Amino acid sequence: MLGDAPSAKAHSEGRASPSISRRTALGLLGAAALAPTIGRARAADAATIRAGVLKFGTVNWELDTIRRLGLDSANGIRIESVQVASNDATRIAFMAGDVDVIATDLLLAARLTAEGTPVVYIPFSASEGGVMVAKDSPFKTLSDLKGKKVAVAGGPLDKSWLLLRAYAQSRDNFDLATAVEPSFGAPPLLAEMLANGQFDAGLLFWNFCARLEAKGFRTLISTEDAARAFGATGAVALIGYVFKADFAARHPEAVDGFAAASKAAKQALATSASAWDALRPLMQADDPAVFDALKRRFIDGIPNRPIAEEEADAARLYAVIAEIGGPKLVGPAKTLPKGLYWTGHAASP
């Protein structure tokens, strides 16, 4: 559980010189013996935040960087990763109070708030997927996919799928849901099937797009392309860290500390090659081309805009997605709830 914000505890350290008295030496030895205890007390004072994460999710890259660089303790927190088996399990753990924070999409954050469980949202990533096709395929636009077999990661209510449906309807006056032959499923399986030529195209999450890109696939249209067509002025972080609002109200310093640690980790990953070398085991990217593609796309998706701009663009996209997804997707939240974004000092870009 999250404790109160850590209190500062000062202690002095010294080393006996050859001329010190026996009493002083004994005192210093006693202090040295107590030093590990003091260190443990300091760690115990740090606010513990339990983060629900998938074993190989990209959130782990950032959390690992935070811990490895000591960015958690530097910001008065300790992050405890709680591994879960699926996105659904992550949300269940969050609602049950088994974890304090999860990374999820903006749509869920809005729906939870509208349904009576207010949350706060801290942008995590603006990296989005897109429609991937083989490098030598003849397809140039979404219209070219009419009648073709298209893999779609997630389900029929996936935000990227809905945004592309809205894009096709507004731009070319056709509905992807009926114009193509969509197959919904787990991203790893669909990516493999697309690579093997079992689909003509695939709408996949960004990390799977990166892996296919390294194999010679190209992006037909990205989710960001569609977002800009609806008025977004920059890349929108549709994935973010979510805390329950009552948790944030009780422990604002801890949430600020988490946001600050996240921002510092992103800065390290954006500027340090060695920070990425340490992540290779988590990335499952032995192929240098895959490693480079994952790294580039992650860095490109780091949010770096003022919260007000981020929120304004998010509200535009939310309205588009909510209209086509309807209550089944967003519940009673027809518009993006006010006050959803965490505006603590450390969370602001």
166-207 residue pLDDT tens: 999 999 999 999 999 999 999 999 999 999 999 999 999 999
What is residue 184's DSSP assignment? E
Separation of CA 74 from chain center: 21
CATH class of 44-125+238-286+329-347: alpha beta
> Which residue ranges does the chain devote to CATH 3.40.190.10?
44-125+238-286+329-347, 130-229
The fold of 130-229 is: D-Maltodextrin-Binding Protein; domain 2 (3.40.190)
Please say if the pLDDT value at position 31 is more than 70.
no
pLDDT for residue 259: 98
> How many angstroms separate the CA atoms of 222 and 126, rounded?
12
232: amino acid identity, one letter: A
Average pLDDT over residues 267-283: 96
Is residue 202 classed as helix, strand or coil in its secondary structure?
strand
Based on its alpha-carbon atoms, the radius of gyration of the chain, rounded to whole angstroms, reads 24
Give strand pairing partners of 204: 130
**Which of residues 15 and 67 earns the better pLDDT score?**
67
Please say if the pLDDT value at position 44 is more than 90.
no
Please say if the pLDDT value at position 110 is more than 90.
yes
Average pLDDT over residues 98-121: 97
- CB neighbour list of residue 343: distance below 8 Å, 6 or more residues apart: 307
pLDDT for residue 344: 86
Is residue 257 classed as helix, strand or coil in its secondary structure?
helix
> How many angstroms separate the CA atoms of 9 and 185, rounded?
52
Cβ atoms within 10 Å of 335's Cβ, excluding its own: 12
- CB neighbour list of residue 57: distance below 8 Å, 6 or more residues apart: 103
pLDDT tier for residue 45 given thresholds of 50, 70 and 90: low
pLDDT tens digits, one per residue of 286-335 = 999 999 999 999 999 999 999 999 999 999 999 999 999 999 999 999 99
pLDDT for residue 345: 53
> How many angstroms separate the CA atoms of 240 and 16, rounded?
51
pLDDT over 90 for what percent of the chain? 83
Average pLDDT over residues 114-132: 97
pTM: 0.84
Place of tokens 């600050």: 260
Please say if the pLDDT value at position 126 is more than 50.
yes
> How many angstroms separate the CA atoms of 243 and 230, rounded?
29
Q: If you count them, how many residues does the chain have?
A: 349
Is residue 2 classed as helix, strand or coil in its secondary structure?
coil
pLDDT for residue 74: 98
275: amino acid identity, one letter: A
Q: Where are the beta strands (DSSP E) in 24-148?
A: 47-54, 77-84, 101-105, 119-125, 130-133
> How many angstroms separate the CA atoms of 231 and 224, rounded?
11
- CB neighbour list of residue 337: distance below 8 Å, 6 or more residues apart: 110, 113, 114
**Which of residues 309 and 30 earns the better pLDDT score?**
309
Mean pLDDT (the chain, rounded): 88
Cβ atoms within 10 Å of 346's Cβ, excluding its own: 19
pLDDT for residue 55: 85
Cβ atoms within 10 Å of 300's Cβ, excluding its own: 14
Average pLDDT over residues 7-17: 34
For the chain, how far is it from start to end, CA to CA, in angstroms?
Answer: 28
pLDDT for residue 124: 98
pLDDT for residue 99: 98
pLDDT for residue 347: 41
Average pLDDT over residues 19-29: 36
> How many angstroms separate the CA atoms of 38 and 43, rounded?
9
> How many angstroms separate the CA atoms of 116 and 240, rounded?
19
pLDDT tier for residue 56 given thresholds of 50, 70 and 90: confident
To 10 degrees, what angle do helices 187-195 and 206-214 make?
20
